[in-house]
Structure 1
Amino acid sequence: METEVVSTSFTSSSGDSSSVDISEQFLHLVDELNESLEQLKMPDDFVVYNPTIYAREPLEMYVRKYCNTPKRILFLDMNPGPFGMSQTGIPFGDIKSVRNWLGITGSVGKPPREIKDREVLGFDCTRPEVSGQRFWGLFRTLCGTPENFFKTSFVYNYSPQRCMNAKGVRSCIRTELKMPELYNICDPITRAL
């Protein structure tokens, strides 16, 4: 029988105003995850983008705007897409959806090592993130406004890193990474959410 994991951040209904701000707790967990991921040894020929670092401004805006109350539902994306979260710092971060529906923009820097064919342009990127269009489009249809969606739900990535070969042609696959190490880093943070 599986053990049920219950998040105190996402299910508490106590409304205790003396507790630490939920959005600040969440950002602290992001920082803890990033510190742990820094220790993960990646293959030498792979490049790692972490938009929670170089796209911190829009990420913080997203978290403070939409992760400021307890939630019942947490949607998890696996990792950043090339034209979504890699550009905006927002999960399923299709530029138009993030800017026009979520109402988020901001300054986006560059990863330490950038691949020419996977350049980070931030909100100037003109390529759509199809999964983001579909995801946010569905909830725009179902909920009408972001506020209605985020009353009960939040969206984040299991791993905030995008790992690619040096040409940016493909993402790392499980056989190239030490998956148990990644799970040992990401699972506890996900449970803490």
Structure 2
Amino acid sequence: MSTRTDVMIRTYGPGQVPPLLDLIADIWADAHPELVDNPGAATAGLSVPALHRQINGHLAYPGFTLVAAYAGGTAVGFGYAFPCSATYWFGPALIDQVPEGARTERLMGLCELAVRPPWQSQGVGSMLHTALLKTINPRWSSLLALPSNNRGKGLYARLGYEYAGPYRNEPSGPEFDLLLLRVDGQAHR
């Protein structure tokens, strides 16, 4: 993996995000072509309209942060996260199964991290992740990944995330892999 030196990361707070929603959705759709126009994915809540609803719902969380990567003035990737409680993030089924620190120390819920295919495997996802860690300054970070998302899971493994168990947002929803990262205080400084 090479690292792009011509990429700039910008950080946005909740009030700056609504005008960016269509751009963010376009990046998400480029990064997830297998989900676009897939009725099964849409039914499972993995669609552009669902992404809009998800982001709009998360904007109210204190500490909400969105980061976007730009190359040559063009947006090539984004990620967003916010500090959250372990009860909210893990839910009652998993809260007792995660390490104590993930339940009691500052937790970041990483909701989305997407990079357009031409810029994947060039360090852009890592740069976005680092920017979120710097801004939110968590002790733990957690995210949900589709078991079939091998590219994403490869990035998350390189970043140090480990599998913590299966997770469903709702009983009939898709099963995700819950991934956890204990953040080394020096890793993102």
TM-score by length of 1: 0.28
Higher share of residues assigned helix: 1
Greater relative contact order (Cα < 8 A, sep 6+): 1
TM-score by length of 2: 0.28
Higher share of residues assigned strand: 2
Between structure 1 and structure 2, the one with the greater Rg is 1
